[in-house]
Amino acid sequence: MNSVDTTFDVRADTPAGKDPDSHSPTLRQYHQLLWSKPLPDATPFTLSTATKGRYLHHASARGEFTLTSDSVIHSYRTWSRMARIINQIPASELDEFQRLGYTIGGMMVFPGTRRPGAHTINGERGLNPAIADRMDLTLECIRLHYAGGASPMSRTLEAYGDFFALFVDFIGFVDFFLLQDLSGDDDDDVRFYLPHDGFEASPLPATVSEYRAYRDASLAFVRARNARIDAWQSQRLET
């Protein structure tokens, strides 16, 4: 496989009842193709699917990492805490939210091997009530990690400090994973899906209008990232 189809719904080749993050062969190949590239310091970062029991494996002088896929766009369709709002949203809107969210623009990779005393990053994103699986809030925690600040994910991110060191700084991380459309105008802050004033308030949309604002911002990010992925691979094929 030499190219990524940014319109492909990764549920399409996932066995019924299984999670695309671990069971879509196309998604795995897309991640391998996209993220096997030079790090900011020009060191090759090669990801292999040949290591038994590893989703994507890297081993070099820079360290050994097993990366796993994580869907970072969530409709909250199955969250009981969101049922009151979700029940007021037409099924067609939810279907489209999920369809676009399961394209490659809605997917990330993070280290998947649990470190002592910490959840995986994927697990922390879902379990931490201050984050509620939101990628914008995750990215803000990562920004604060690079800046030496505290966040609800500090303990987990510090446990994977060697991974984040690969990208040197926040801008390096954002550029490597093509997340520029979720960063702010000066490239060193985050463009939030909903108004953000710290982590004290609930991250979940509280009204139907807030939910739709969250959905629209999430999908705008996915569309923009998919376009960025298309542009990146066009440039790669030309060189």
Question: For 168-216, what is each residue's pLDDT tens digit?
Answer: 999 999 999 999 999 987 767 999 999 999 999 999 999 999 999 999 9
| pLDDT reported for residue 184 | 80
For the chain, percent of residues with pLDDT exceeding 70: 98
Assigned domain for 2 exists: no
Assigned domain for 5 exists: no
Task: Measure the CA–CA gap between 168 and 145, rounded to whole angstroms.
Answer: 12
Assigned domain for 3 exists: no
Assigned domain for 194 exists: yes
| pLDDT reported for residue 187 | 66
- Residue range 60-81: average pLDDT? 97
Assigned domain for 14 exists: no
Task: Measure the CA–CA gap between 17 and 112, rounded to whole angstroms.
Answer: 21
| pLDDT reported for residue 47 | 98
Assigned domain for 100 exists: yes
| pLDDT reported for residue 188 | 78
- Residue range 87-113: average pLDDT? 98
The parent domain of residue 167 ranges over 20-238
Question: For 120-175, what is each residue's pLDDT tens digit?
Answer: 999 999 999 999 999 999 999 999 999 999 999 999 999 999 999 999 999 999 99
Assigned domain for 205 exists: yes
Of 109, 111, 79, 81, nearest to 94 (Cα)?
79
Domain count, the chain: 1
- Residue range 216-238: average pLDDT? 93
Which pLDDT band, with edges at 50, 70 and 90, does 235 fall under? confident
- Averaged pLDDT of the chain: 96
Handedness of CA 54, 70, 64, 180 (dihedral sign): positive
Assigned domain for 77 exists: yes
Which pLDDT band, with edges at 50, 70 and 90, does 239 fall under? low
Of 16, 17, 123, 139, nearest to 68 (Cα)?
123
Q: How many CA atoms lie within 13 A of 191 on its CB side?
A: 15
Where does residue 22 fall: left (phi above 0), alpha (psi -120 to 50 degrees), or beta otherwise? alpha
- Residue range 21-45: average pLDDT? 98
The answer to whether residue 77 scores a pLDDT higher than 90 is yes
The answer to whether residue 45 scores a pLDDT higher than 70 is yes
